[in-house]
Chains A and B, each alone.
Chain A
Amino acid sequence: MADKSKLGMEFPPYVIEVEKAKIAEFAMAVSQKNDKEQINPIYAKSEAAKKAGYSGIPVPPTFPTSFMFWTGGGLMGIVNSLGINLGRLLHGEEEYEYFGEVCAGDVITGKMKVAKMFDKEKKDKPGKFMEFTLLETEMRNQRGELVIKARTTLVER
């Protein structure tokens, strides 16, 4: 059971440098490729990225979720601090708003907070509830510019 007293809680900010090799590795994973030469070259080669209009090697659209897994104890750290039962955890929704580029070499500071916690009755099991936790993260680059807002909805079934 998620601990409802955590509503509004802010996690310690995390600071992470976006690494070039990590971008290519992620792009290989989501495109199911075994070789850097097979992925979209903007994710592997700075010349290709610049030619395509980016200031450096950009991150793939869903890459920002990884930031939280590499910091603050990762998923287990987050789940434990919210009192969520890992065996019942599902990912409900994910959303990104993109305000600016994130490229290799950028240093991102993420501030995550518990924005909402609520229950919903199960349609097929009246009297039983699913529990929802909405995490909102603002990510800023080394110049202080807001680049991404991410919203993650965790569900305990």
Chain B
Amino acid sequence: MVLNYNDIKEGDAIPAYTSQPITRTHLVRYAGASGDFNPLHHDDTFIKKIGMERIIAHGMLIMGIAGEAVTAWIDKKNLRKFNVRFLGMTEPADLHDMENTKKRATITVTGKVVKKFEENGEKRIQCDIIAQDANSGRKLTGYFIAALP
């Protein structure tokens, strides 16, 4: 499906995107893929040392999931700007207690078109986005700008 500038209105929702419950294995995979080996994201002994309870997901994994949400809707090559502010930490689900912990680790990205404008000879849209877990905990807010035909 090709999105056209003329078919989009301010206020239009972008399609919601929901992640799988994030597990420690997802964090390990992201650490290796990205090169971000901050022990905060995998080492329980470091977590104890700094007085936290559990390891947390990389903020950049949540932004990466938001990037998947964005590019499920618009082509990656049309993206001109992508900005997020991190608001809350994400603790992975515990495998021995998925039922009670999967909600905190399941991320849904939603958003809407807030602006249509022309810039640098291109027709562009700006969309606000927000990522939240299934307990309504806010993880990040931000926006992206895309050029459309």
Q: Which residues of A contact B29 (CB under 8 A)?
A: 28-29
Enumerate B79-95 residues with CB–CB distance to A below 8 Å: 79-86
Enumerate B38-55 residues with CB–CB distance to A below 8 Å: 38-40, 49-50
Q: Is the CB of B36 within 8 A of A29?
A: no
The smallest C-beta distance from A90 to any residue of chain B, in angstroms, reads 7
Q: Is the CB of A29 within 8 A of B85?
A: no
Q: Is the CB of A87 within 8 A of B33?
A: no
User: Given that A26-B34, A30-B61 are known contacts, is A101 also in contact with B77, CB under 8 Å in the complex?
Assistant: yes
Enumerate A44-94 residues with CB–CB distance to B below 8 Å: 52-54, 58, 60-62, 65-66, 69-70, 74-75, 86-94
Q: How large is the interface on A (under 10, 10 to 19, 20 to 34, 35 or more residues)?
A: 35 or more
Q: Which residues of B contact A95 (CB under 8 A)?
A: 81-84
Selected from B33, B58, B61, B79, the residue in CB contact (under 8 A) with A22 is B33
A25 CA / B33 CA spacing, docked (Å) = 6
Number of interface residues of B (CB under 8 A): 39
Q: Mark B1-41, 1 if CB is under 8 A from A, else 0.
A: 00000000000000000011010001001101111111110
A88 CA / B50 CA spacing, docked (Å) = 8
A143 CA / B101 CA spacing, docked (Å) = 49
Chain-A contact segment, one of B67-75, B111-119, B130-138: B67-75
A90 CA / B85 CA spacing, docked (Å) = 11
A145 within 8 A of partner (CB): no
Q: Is the CB of B59 within 8 A of A97?
A: no
Q: Which residues of A contact B148 (CB under 8 A)?
A: none
Interface, chain B (partner A; CB < 8 A): 19-20, 22, 26, 29-30, 32-40, 49-50, 58-61, 63-65, 67-68, 70-71, 75-77, 79-86
